[in-house]
């Protein structure tokens, strides 16, 4: 088995990296240490690199189709990692998960329909609803001081007053929940009862920490009337976001046809040559790499817990069950919530995601990305420690 050195430091500046080359614009200085956008500072599996290099060496990059072996690699991955038997014809390919959310909204709802999200949540969920002229309904998750839960009573109230579609984040960015089977069953039953279509954004499904298991929402209730569009991608799993490659699984034929029509209307159905090659290699050969990456992320989480407990106890961790993003409860810092962004960027010189981006209930929280060599994480925490001590 190939062993990857996740401690290896890479120079990512001057590679057109959103995470490393956009700091001046986003945080006001290039000297910021970036621990923000969901992109890992790890190289993709060697098999992915080789497959892309080999294809690049061919030199011709014309319009590219997806062969049966591509689809088969996805089907096998879903079977092996999630015990989910998907038929190849249920797969629809798209450059990204966020574009897929937009297509689902355009094709499965009408202007002015209500679309529900559960904040604090990945901020493009807000934008994609509003930019497509739909009404945004928020059913905030409930935080009991250690864990976030869905508010089923509120969900039912909202569904009863007319919700056409909900966007589920599973596992959840930023709060790190990996929803349990009973939670998903309850949600699916409510969606069935009120005829709500669910777009399940399961882009984080492969990054689940020990003791937890991702369950695809589409598998929890065996009822063909349940309308689910499951959006997935290799981008978080293998750090391939720049390849712009994703897919959706849609069992219901009518829903699938509507989604496919939307994709064709935008002429977005053709694939990216490197995305196709890289994704296939990742799903065929990436199991061991992913297991090692998750183990490394778990070590970083232990490191983060230890560091905060010993040196910065005023900042508390909401323990993640999945993803490599950690939701930090900073409400006890002696600062107004609105001043946290400038504190972390200007005093600590670290780039985090301010909680308010994820909705009003995120105020007082910060999201930190721990998918980086531990040396980078340690440097970021030392900067935060120093800045907090100076408050």
Which contiguous run of DSSP H or E holds residue 295? helix 287-311
3-state secondary structure of 218: helix
Residue 232 CB coordination number (10 Å): 26
Nearest residue relative to ligand PLP (C-beta): 96
Residue 142 CB coordination number (10 Å): 15
Interface pick for ligand PLP out of 96, 278, 359, 380 (rule CB under 6 A): 96
**Least distance from C-beta 178 to ligand PLP, angstroms?**
13
Contact partners, residue 298, CB within 8 Å, separation at least 6: 209, 210
**Does 32 participate in binding ligand PLP (rule CB under 6 A)?**
no
Kindly tell me which of 101 and 137 has the beta carbon lying closer to ligand PLP: 101
**Does 201 participate in binding ligand PLP (rule CB under 6 A)?**
yes
**Does 235 participate in binding ligand PLP (rule CB under 6 A)?**
yes
**What is the DSSP-derived secondary structure letter of residue 194?**
T
Contact partners, residue 57, CB within 8 Å, separation at least 6: none
Kindly tell me which of 167 and 196 has the beta carbon lying closer to ligand PLP: 167
**Does 38 participate in binding ligand PLP (rule CB under 6 A)?**
yes
3-state secondary structure of 32: coil
**Least distance from C-beta 15 to ligand PLP, angstroms?**
18
Interface pick for ligand PLP out of 91, 97, 258, 263 (rule CB under 6 A): 97
**Does 173 participate in binding ligand PLP (rule CB under 6 A)?**
yes
At residue 136, what are phi and psi to the nearest 5 degrees?
-85, 125
Distance of CA 316 to the CA centre of its chain: 22
Contact 301, 370 (CB under 8 A): yes
Q: Which stretch binds ligand PLP (CB under 6 A): 50-58, 93-101, 182-190, 308-316?
A: 93-101
**Does 203 participate in binding ligand PLP (rule CB under 6 A)?**
yes
Residue 353 CB coordination number (10 Å): 24
**Does 312 participate in binding ligand PLP (rule CB under 6 A)?**
no
Interface pick for ligand PLP out of 241, 249, 250, 376 (rule CB under 6 A): 241
Total residue count of the chain as it appears in this document: 391
**Least distance from C-beta 346 to ligand PLP, angstroms?**
25
- The size of the interface with ligand PLP (CB under 6 A), counted in residues, is 13
Kindly tell me which of 98 and 345 has the beta carbon lying closer to ligand PLP: 98
The residues facing 352 across adjacent strands are: none
Contact 111, 134 (CB under 8 A): yes
Kindly tell me which of 103 and 155 has the beta carbon lying closer to ligand PLP: 103
Binding site for ligand PLP (CB under 6 A): 38, 96-98, 122, 169, 173, 201, 203, 233, 235, 241, 246
């Amino acid at each position: 088995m190939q062993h990857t050195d996740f401690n290896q430091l890479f120079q990512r500046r001057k590679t057109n990296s959103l995470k490393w080359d956009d700091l001046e614009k986003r945080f006001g200085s290039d000297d910021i240490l970036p621990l923000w956008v969901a992109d890992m500072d790890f190289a993709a599996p060697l098999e992915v690199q080789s497959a892309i290099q080999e294809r690049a060496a061919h030199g011709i990059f014309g319009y590219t189709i997806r062969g049966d072996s591509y689809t088969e690699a996805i089907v096998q991955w879903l079977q092996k990692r999630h015990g989910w038997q998907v038929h190849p014809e249920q797969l629809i390919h798209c450059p990204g998960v966020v574009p897929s959310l937009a297509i689902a909204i355009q094709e499965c709802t009408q202007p002015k329909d209500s679309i529900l999200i559960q904040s604090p949540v990945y901020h493009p969920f807000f934008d994609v609803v509003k930019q497509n002229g739909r009404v945004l309904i928020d059913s905030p998750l409930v935080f009991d001081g250690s864990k976030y839960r869905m508010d089923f009573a509120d969900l039912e109230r909202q569904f009863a007053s007319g919700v056409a579609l909900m966007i589920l984040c599973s596992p959840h960015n930023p709060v790190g929940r990996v929803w349990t089977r009973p939670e998903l069953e309850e949600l699916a039953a409510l969606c069935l009862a009120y005829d709500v279509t669910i777009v399940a954004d399961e882009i984080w499904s492969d990054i689940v920490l020990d003791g937890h298991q991702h369950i695809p929402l589409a598998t929890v209730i065996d009822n063909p009337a349940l309308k689910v569009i499951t959006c997935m991608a290799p981008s978080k799993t293998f750090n391939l976001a720049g390849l712009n490659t994703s897919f959706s699984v849609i069992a219901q034929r009518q829903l699938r046809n509507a989604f496919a029509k939307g994709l064709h209307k935008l002429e977005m159905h053709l694939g990216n040559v490197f995305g196709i090659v890289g994704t296939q290699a990742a799903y065929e050969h990436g199991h061991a790499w992913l297991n090692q990456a998750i183990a490394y992320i778990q070590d970083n989480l232990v490191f983060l817990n230890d560091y905060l407990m010993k040196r910065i106890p005023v900042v508390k961790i909401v323990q993640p069950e999945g993803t490599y993003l950690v939701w930090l409860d900073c409400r006890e810092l002696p600062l107004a919530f609105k001043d946290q962004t400038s504190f972390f960027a200007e005093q600590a010189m670290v780039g985090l995601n301010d909680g308010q981006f994820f909705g009003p209930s995120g105020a007082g929280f910060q999201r930190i990305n721990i998918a980086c060599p531990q040396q980078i994480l340690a440097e970021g925490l030392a900067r935060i420690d120093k800045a907090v001590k100076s408050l």
